[in-house]
Structure 1
């Protein structure tokens, strides 16, 4: 089974991202920073937050569904706010999505908030709402169940330091996974955690029995050349059975986001 985790950067590099996903076609894709604007047929809208202005692929969820037609698609918003078409405001949802190939049987699902709650009337103040989604699938070829849970960790404008909110987020993330996973499952946790490799969060997850694979394989970064800040880590993937890992990669090329895709073959 192939599992990919990626922050899609709101689809900013969609002209590279979509063909890449169409070719890679992982069995399970965990995607963060997904935009869904169901009332708009625009391809592009603009996100504005003070001097933070970004182009957003207005219907990235739709776009990925189209290039992965053989996958079940689940979108989990953590907020509905405003994107802009020139000076026109349009409602748009922002969140995470999970894509599961139809060859796998989905035998369980769960989602929950790891920071704050759903924000229906704007993206909210920082640190903003964040959620997690998990699927439990049965792999007929391997005759086993696999649980995969991902989140987009909260973004703190002060940086990626440990905070009480992040410690609570880690425990809530584990709680979401534990609602889903059974004792004999291979269990995978992943996402854009917005944290450094020495963070308390990764210690909490390690104490719960998970091995973090980016550090274990000594990859030097999970960011691409599009990311200009000095910190070079944000994305992590963990597993409760290290012996099940056949291959793990942080994919540097092609650059499809300011984050690198994480790829796990079990």
Structure 2
């Protein structure tokens, strides 16, 4: 089984990302920073937050769903705000998505918030609402059940420092993973956590019996040349049973986002 985790950067590099997903076709794809604008048929809209202006792939969830037609696609919104078509405001949902190959029966599922709650009337002030999604599948090849839970950790304008909000977020993420898992499962927790390797978030998860794969396997960054700011870590993948790991990679080439895909083979 192949599990991939990626912050999709709102689909900014979709011309590279979609062929990459089609060629790799992970059995489970955990995708963060997903845009879903069902009221618009536009390919591109603009996100505006003060001086922070970004192009957004208006129907990124639809794009990835079409690229992976053999997968069950699940969108989990954190908030609904507006994107802009020039001077016209377009309602648009923002959140994360999970894609599970249809050969894998989904036998458990959980969706919840790790910070704040659903915001229907705008994206809100930072730190904004954040959700998480967990699925439990049965893998006939491994003859085992596997749970995979992911989140997009909150962004704090002060940086990636430890905060009470991030500690609460980590506890809620762990709780969601435990709710969707059973004792004998291979359990995976992943996502763009927006924290440093020595964070309270990772300490809490490792104290709970998970092993973090990015730093323990010698990778020195989960960012690529698309990202020019300081700080080379954001994304992590943890597992409760390292004996099940056949291979783990941080993918630097091709560049399909300003984050690197994390790819785990069980």
| Counterpart residue number, 1:92 | 92
Q: Structure 1 CA distance, aligned partners of 2:264 and 2:15?
A: 24
SS of 1:229 mapped into structure 2:
coil
- Give the CA deviation at 1:13: 0.4
| Counterpart residue number, 2:122 | 122
1:105-162 alpha-carbon deviations (Å, 9 max, x no partner): 1000001100000000000010000010000000011111000000000000000000
* Pair 1:72-2:66 in alignment: no
1:172-206 alpha-carbon deviations (Å, 9 max, x no partner): 00111111000000000000000111101000000
Counting only pairs closer than 5 Å after superposition, residues 185-264 of structure 1 correspond to structure 2 as 185-264=185-264
Structure 1 unaligned runs (5+)? none
Q: Structure 1 CA distance, aligned partners of 2:109 and 2:220?
A: 33
| Counterpart residue number, 1:113 | 113
| Counterpart residue number, 2:12 | 12
SS of 2:135 mapped into structure 1:
strand
| Counterpart residue number, 1:148 | 148
Q: Structure 2 CA distance, aligned partners of 1:131 and 1:176?
A: 11
1:29-55 alpha-carbon deviations (Å, 9 max, x no partner): 000000000000000000000000000
* Pair 1:45-2:65 in alignment: no
Q: CA RMSD in A?
A: 0.4
SS of 1:21 mapped into structure 2:
helix
Runs of 4+ in structure 1 displaced over 2 angstroms?
none
SS of 2:255 mapped into structure 1:
coil
Q: Structure 1 CA distance, aligned partners of 2:242 and 2:199?
A: 21
Q: Structure 2 CA distance, aligned partners of 1:174 and 1:222?
A: 22
- Give the CA deviation at 1:224: 1.0
SS of 1:61 mapped into structure 2:
helix
Q: Structure 2 CA distance, aligned partners of 1:11 and 1:60?
A: 6
Structure 2 unaligned runs (5+)? none
SS of 1:65 mapped into structure 2:
helix
- Give the CA deviation at 1:230: 1.0
1:70-127 alpha-carbon deviations (Å, 9 max, x no partner): 0000000000001000000000000000000011010000011000000000000100
Q: Structure 1 CA distance, aligned partners of 2:77 and 2:183?
A: 29
- Give the CA deviation at 1:218: 1.1
TM-score by length of 2: 1.00
TM-score by length of 1: 1.00
SS of 2:162 mapped into structure 1:
coil
